C-alpha cells in the first residue's frame, strides 16, 4: 500500500510552507523529489535525501557541501517514518543553523498528516468492504462470501450464531448529497454503539441494513424489539430524523441471512401499507396478518411448517392434532369437543395448554388459532 502519495506530499509541502518561509521538498524512497515549493525540481534526484535514506538519519547540508552534491541546497533532510518503515525524506532549504529548529517540527507534522490520511483510507476501505460483505450476505452470493472470508473474520461476523436482519429506511427532508452522507455517518455511529459486534452499512440512497448478532441471556435469545425501539428513539431524538425500521426472522447461520433480509423487506412493505403511522415493524408481530399479503410465499410455507413440526414432534399419538382439528370444526365450543372426543373439558384445556407451550400459539386466541389452523390444513 502506498503511504506517501504524490498528492499527499504536495499537500504537506503547501501547508508547511504557509507556516515557514523556507522552501521544502519531499522525496520518495528512491530520493526522487515528488513535491516541492519549487515546481521545477519535481522529478529530480536529491543526493542529500539519498544519503539520509541510506544512513536512516538526519542529514545536514552546509553551504560548502551543497556545492559538491547534485541538486542539493544547504539545509537539512530528515527521513519520514510510518509504522516503523521509512517512506520518504522531507528537506528544508536554508542555513542549517536557521532551519535546524524547524526540521523536527516539520517531520512530526508530515508524519501526523500521513497517519491521519492512512486512518481515513482505512475507514473508507472498511466502509466499502462492509458494504461488499452485506450485499453478498443479503443477495445469497456464496462464492463472493468465500472470497470475503478474511473481512468477515475482521468484522467478527460469526458463521454460526443466531442472527437477524434489520432494515432502516431513512426519510430525508434535505436532498443534498452532503446531507445524505452526514446523516448516514451519524446513524451508523449510533447503530454501532447500540448493536455491539453487529454489522451496519448503507446499501442505497435511503436504506441501511444491520446484520444483528443476537444476545443470549439465561440460555435464551433476547427479544430484539427493545433494540429496535431504542435505536428509533436515538435517531429521532439525537438527529431529528424519521426512520422506518423492520426486522426479519432469526436464523442460526450466516448463509441464511438472505432469508431474513427478504422477510424484513416484506415486513417493511406490509407495515408501511397497513400501519403507515408506525415506525417499527417486527416480523413476529405481523406475520399472521402477512399471511394474506401478496409477498413472498416461501417464508409463509416455512413458518407454518415449523409450527406443524413442533406439534407433531411432541404429539406421537396424535391426540393434540385431533383435539385441535375438532376444536376448529366445532368453532371452539368445548362442550361439543368434549362430546365428540369423549373426554372431560379439563382434559381439553390441558391439551390446548400443551399446544400453547409447544408452539407459543394460544388456541384460545383467534389470530393464533388461525395460524394453527393454517399449519394443520397445509401439512
- Distance from C-alpha of 261 to C-alpha of 274, rounded to nearest angstrom: 20
**Contact of 213 with 253, CB cutoff 8 Å:** no
Quick one: what percent of the chain has pLDDT higher than 70?
Answer: 95
| pLDDT the model gives residue 72 | 86
Position 296 scores a pLDDT of 67
Question: For 273-294, what is each residue's pLDDT tens digit?
Answer: 999 999 999 998 898 888 877 6
Distance CA 248, CA 230 (A): 17
Q: Inform me whether the pLDDT recorded for 174 exceeds 80.
A: no
Per-residue confidence (pLDDT) for residue 351, from 0 to 100: 94
Percent of the chain topping pLDDT 90: 52
H/E stretch holding 212: strand 207-213
Helices (H) and strands (E) in the chain, counts: 15, 13
CB within 8 Å of 239: residues ≥ 6 apart:
183, 186, 187, 190
Q: Do domains 159-296 and 302-378 have the same CATH topology?
A: no
pLDDT in tens, 42-68: 999 999 999 999 999 999 988 888 888
CB 256 within 8 A of CB 216: no
Q: What is the pLDDT of residue 80?
A: 94
Q: How confident is the model at residue 69 (pLDDT cuts 50, 70, 90)?
A: confident
Which pLDDT score is estimated for 299? 86
The pLDDT of residue 315 is above 60 = yes
> The domain 302-378 belongs to what CATH superfamily?
PucR C-terminal helix-turn-helix domain (1.10.10.2840)
CA dist 174 and 159 (Å) reads 39
Confidence tier at 35 by pLDDT (50, 70, 90) = very high
Q: What does 270-284 look like in DSSP terms, one character per residue?
A: HHHHH-TT-SEEEHH
What is the DSSP secondary structure assignment for residue 333, as one 8-state letter? -
Nearest-10 Cα torsion for 285, 288, 292, 296: 70
CATH of 159-296, one of 3.40.50.1370, 3.30.70.270, 3.30.413.10, 3.40.109.10: 3.30.70.270
pLDDT at 334 over 80: yes
**How far is it, in rounded angstroms, from Cα 208 to Cα 191?**
10
The DSSP bridge partners found for residue 245 are: 168, 280
Supply the pLDDT for residue 221: 65
d(CA 281, CA 271): 6
Half-sphere exposure at residue 84, Cβ-oriented, CA atoms within 13 angstroms: 0
Which pLDDT belongs to residue 251? Answer: 93
Q: Tell me 21's DSSP state.
A: S
Which residues lie below 8 Å from residue 252, measured CB to CB, with a gap of 6+? Answer: 160, 161, 162, 163
pLDDT at 219: 60
What CA dihedral angle connects 291, 294, 299 and 305, to 10 degrees?
A: 40
What pLDDT, in 10s, does the model give residues 221-271? Answer: 667 788 889 899 999 999 888 999 999 999 999 999 999 999 999 999 999
Give Dmax over CA atoms of the chain in angstroms. Answer: 117
Of the spans 74-88, 169-183, 190-204, 211-225, which averages the highest pLDDT? 74-88
| Domain boundaries defined on the chain | 6-115, 159-296, 302-378
User: Which CATH entry fits the domain spanning 6-115: 3.90.420.10, 1.10.530.10, 3.30.450.20, 3.90.320.10?
Assistant: 3.30.450.20
**pLDDT given at position 177:** 53
Q: Exposed e or buried b for every residue in 305-342, given b needs 16+ CB within 10 A?
A: eebbebbeeebeeeebbebbbbbbebeeeeeebbeebe
**338 pLDDT exceeds 70?**
yes
Distance CA 313, CA 147 (A): 40
Higher-confidence position of 220 and 232: 232
User: What is the pLDDT, as a whole number, of residue 324?
Assistant: 92
CA angle 338, 344, 345 (to 5 degrees): 70
- 59 Cβ contact list (under 8 Å, min separation 6): 48, 49, 51, 52, 76, 77, 78
CA distances from 328 to 1, 222, 240, 266, 322 (A): 69, 33, 49, 29, 10
pLDDT at 1 over 60: no
pLDDT value for 356: 94
Residue carrying the nine cell digits 503547501: 14
Q: 115: which 3 cell numbers? A: 497517519
Output the average pLDDT for the chain: 88
Helix (H) or strand (E) holding 217: strand 216-217
Query: Is pLDDT of 216 > 80?
Result: no
pLDDT band of residue 71 (cuts 50, 70, 90) is: confident
- Give pLDDT tens digits for 85-136: 999 999 999 888 888 778 888 889 899 999 998 888 888 888 889 999 999 9
pLDDT for the residue 67: 83
Least confident window among 30-39, 66-75, 157-166: 66-75
Amino acid at each position: 500500500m502506498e503511504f506517501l502519495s504524490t498528492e499527499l506530499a504536495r499537500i504537506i509541502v503547501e501547508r508547511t510552507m504557509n507556516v515557514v518561509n523556507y522552501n521544502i521538498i519531499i522525496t520518495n524512497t528512491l530520493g526522487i523529489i515528488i513535491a516541492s515549493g519549487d515546481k521545477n525540481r519535481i522529478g529530480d534526484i536529491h543526493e542529500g535525501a539519498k544519503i539520509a535514506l541510506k544512513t536512516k538519519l538526519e542529514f545536514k547540508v552546509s553551504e560548502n557541501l551543497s556545492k559538491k552534491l547534485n541538486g542539493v541546497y544547504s539545509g537539512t533532510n530528515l527521513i519520514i517514518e510510518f509504522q516503523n518503515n521509512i517512506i520518504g525524506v522531507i528537506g528544508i532549504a536554508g542555513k542549517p543553523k536557521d532551519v535546524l529548529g524547524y526540521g523536527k517540527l516539520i517531520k512530526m507534522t508530515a508524519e501526523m498528516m500521513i497517519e491521519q490520511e492512512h486512518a481515513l483510507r482505512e475507514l473508507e476501505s472498511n466502509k466499502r468492504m462492509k458494504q461488499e460483505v452485506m450485499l453478498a450476505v443479503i443477495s445469497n452470493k456464496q462464492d463472493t462470501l468465500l472470497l470475503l472470508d478474511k473481512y468477515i473474520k475482521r468484522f467478527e461476523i460469526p458463521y454460526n450464531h443466531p442472527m437477524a436482519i434489520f432494515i432502516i429506511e431513512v426519510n430525508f427532508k434535505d436532498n443534498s448529497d452532503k446531507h445524505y452522507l452526514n446523516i448516514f455517518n451519524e446513524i451508523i455511529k449510533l447503530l454501532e454503539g447500540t448493536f455491539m459486534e453487529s454489522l451496519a452499512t448503507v446499501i442505497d440512497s435511503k436504506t441501511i441494513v444491520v446484520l444483528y448478532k443476537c444476545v443470549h441471556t439465561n440460555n435464551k435469545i433476547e427479544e430484539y424489539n427493545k433494540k429496535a425501539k431504542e435505536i428509533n428513539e436515538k435517531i429521532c431524538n439525537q438527529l431529528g430524523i424519521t426512520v422506518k425500521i423492520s426486522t426479519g426472522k432469526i436464523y442460526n447461520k450466516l448463509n441464511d441471512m438472505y432469508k431474513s433480509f427478504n422477510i424484513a423487506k416484506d415486513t417493511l412493505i406490509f407495515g408501511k401499507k397497513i400501519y403507515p403511522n408506525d415506525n417499527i415493524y417486527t416480523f413476529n408481530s405481523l406475520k399472521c396478518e402477512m399471511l394474506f399479503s401478496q409477498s413472498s410465499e416461501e417464508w409463509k410455507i416455512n413458518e407454518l411448517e415449523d409450527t406443524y413440526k413442533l406439534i407433531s414432534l411432541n404429539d406421537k399419538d396424535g391426540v393434540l392434532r385431533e383435539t385441535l382439528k375438532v376444536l376448529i370444526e366445532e368453532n371452539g365450543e368445548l362442550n361439543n369437543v368434549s362430546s365428540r372426543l369423549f373426554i372431560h373439558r379439563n382434559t381439553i384445556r390441558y391439551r390446548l395448554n400443551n399446544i400453547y407451550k409447544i408452539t407459543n400459539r394460544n388456541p384460545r386466541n383467534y389470530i393464533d388459532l388461525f395460524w394453527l389452523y393454517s399449519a394443520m390444513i397445509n401439512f
